[in-house]
Structure 1
């Protein structure tokens, strides 16, 4: 569920690429609260978007219902996203929540890094794991899924398998028009999927594709008050509005091709804790993939 929240946020960035200054004006006037508990924006993002270089953001989804509460929760969704205006591509790589890392001399699951400090701490953990430099983060809470999907008028997906979840049935090969509530059900199921959480990630990517399709069909949705209100209530970021304006005016073609990947590990029980342990070869593969996405011309 948290992963799809973050992917819906990606839609805001990608869709905004086609509207330039007008979208910037609307976003500025409707979503200023996204900086409500982080007044400092990321200079790296500003510098790179000003010079039209590829940018790398961390998309985070929390397991709390309200942003800014005293209990921060964990970021069960962590997606590294590279937006490259030169190669006209956007690349997303999901980092499993149970990924084992050694952080500040303590072995933890990577989704706990946020609760130990802040979004900045989560960024540090991902940077250390993948040996990359991040230019900012976007944080989304669980609460906004239905609002965000409903704001674009729902999504259409084809189910890759037959399953039931929370009184909603899906049949393999059949297409469904889903509202926010049903999109949540489609994206939440994990235990009956033969591929577990990795299978769930693929279904969440289907939701993203469906939302992007709706925005392409009716692009003015991104500047609707309903959509912007949903974003303002459920998103926090250190990516400045200046960077968003740069993305809107200079990175629009990067939304043409969206590539998705996943960091794959093996499940292991260590000291009573269930981890996803990443082989060095897999970490090297993902580092190379991201670096290639950044360097592509």
Structure 2
């Protein structure tokens, strides 16, 4: 039966077709209105997120160490490197005293492999402090406390013969708050231990909140691998955190995350650079690789040091340069010079014996070392004499107090801990 209109007149086919067309049109207009309303809301929310991100990035930006980026530098096709420095000195409020950076990781992002590689440098690694014209050799974790980000970047660059333009200084304690904001992370501990009241069981996957994650990444004394084991766990925590931050779920706490980062991160990557990295390299966060600079344990007045053999410095240099698409180049610096002089004097990496590692005066030749003039002089010093000849004092935790200059003819006691030819800790987790 035909439908009748309000006047009781039967509806024709033409009228019915027009009525249906009108209903469809009204539905389409309604749907479009809802879509537009949602889009407007999302647009406003996106604008808010953008503004929040920009403010956070500008607050964390280190303009003193600004680097001019070249055109297309972060276009998603070229690899790039950032030096990650970690400290536990508290929130980076731009007024507090600089502390040592006990976490030093060179991160190389490779778009061709769609991954990033983290290479740790042990905090106790012997390194020439580049930038003060003194040929001063200290633990590498002191570079930031002595000369800021500029000296830290130059020191790492010189040690490994790699370009280091960008850095990010992170307060590890503050960074752990991010673990809470993303809902925690899962780890599978490589060993059983308890630290700061948090128990961890070997090979048992467990969920960590921020405090537990910080405890997991801090412990080193009960780890058979010492600081190398801690570096491994730190890289694991950072990797898991990056994976969680890269998910859409993190948007729910975006403001908290942004504010936390602005208070606990300092970087010379501008907001524009960070935008380009986020837009063009986001697919590189799903996969990662890791390695570390392997050294041999030494002691300076009962303080732990690491001496990296020239072959190891060259290996890490080759790896990073290859990841960056650069040709390999010979590492030649103060560290390799000291290694050569010590090996000339009879020092043998991996000998398994307790040896003396001598910090020779700049300009010392191999001939003078062979003659025994320098080596006999430095080797004859007692521990107390060595202590008085150096103006730096370091405790085992890495807290260092500096005053005056350092005598470069100081004898270091070497204690062998690891088999260098078998590197069980590099790569993976």
TM-score bracket relative to the smaller structure = 0.7 to 0.9
What is the aligned partner in structure 1 of residue 80 from structure 2? 55
Q: Counting strand residues as a fraction of each chain, which structure ranks higher?
A: 1
Q: List alignment gaps of at least 5 residues for structure 2.
A: 1-45, 327-429
- Tell me by how many angstroms 1:31 deviates: 3.5
2:114 aligned partner: 88
RMSD (CA atoms): 2.5
Shift of 1:209: 3.4
TM-score, scaled to structure 2: 0.59
Q: Pick the aligned partner of 1:150 from 163, 180, 199.
A: 180
**Counterparts in 2 of 1:213 and 1:114: CA distance versus 1, 3 Å:** closer
Distance 2:213 2:266 in 1: 22
Q: Is 2:55 aligned against 1:41?
A: no
- Helix, strand or coil: the match of 2:163? coil
1:219-247 Cα deviation digits (max 9, x unpaired) = 44487111111111111110011111111
1:141 Cα shift? 1.8
> Cα deviations across residues 16-68 of structure 1 (Å, max 9, x unaligned)?
xxxx9997654213442102x53552214776225842211111112411322
**Structure 1: 5+ residue stretches without partners:** 1-19
Distance verdict in 2 for CA 1:216–1:120, change over 3 Å: closer
3-state SS in 1 of match to 2:102: strand
2-structure distance, mates of 1:190, 1:138: 23
TM-score if structure 1 supplies the norm length? 0.84
Deviation at 1:256, TM superposition (A): 3.3
Indicate the SS of the match to 2:222. Answer: coil
**Distance in 1, Cα, partners of 2:166 & 2:109:** 12
Q: Deviations over 1:164-209 (max 9, x none)?
A: 1122211112121111011111111111111111111222223233
Distance 1:190 1:286, change over 3 A: same
8 Å CA contact 2:195, 2:216 repeated in 1: yes
Supply the distance in 2 between the matched residues of 1:43 and 1:222 (Cα, whole angstroms).
Answer: 34
Question: Residues 272-291 of structure 1: matches in 2 within 5 Å?
Answer: 272-291=302-321
Within 5 Å, which residues of 2 pair with 1:11-160? 26-35=52-61, 38=63, 41-44=66-69, 48-50=73-75, 52-67=77-92, 68-103=94-129, 104-160=134-190
Could you tell which deviates more after superposition, 185-194 or 203-212?
203-212
8 Å CA contact retained: 1:23, 1:223: no
What SS does the corresponding residue of 1:43 show, helix, strand or coil? coil
Cα contact 1:57–1:82 (8 A) shared by 2: yes
Q: Which has the higher contact order (CA 8 A, sep 6+)?
A: 1
Instruction: Give the count of matched residue pairs.
Output: 276
In structure 2, the CA distance between the partners of 1:40 and 1:265, relative to structure 1 (3 Å rule), is closer
Identify the residue that residue 236 of structure 1 maps to in structure 2.
Answer: 266
Q: 1:213 to 1:107 in 2, by over 3 A?
A: closer
Match of 1:196 in 2: 226
User: CA 1:272/1:167 → structure 2, altered by over 3 Å: closer, same or farther?
Assistant: closer
Q: Distance in 2 between matches of 1:172 and 1:158?
A: 7
Label 1:231 to 1:88 Cα distance change in 2 as closer, same or farther (>3 A): same
The question of whether the paired residues in 2 share the 8 Å contact of 1:54 and 1:83 is answered with: yes
Choose 1 or 2 for highest CA Rg: 2
- Aligned twin of 2:393: none
The yes-or-no answer on 1:248 pairing with 2:278 is yes
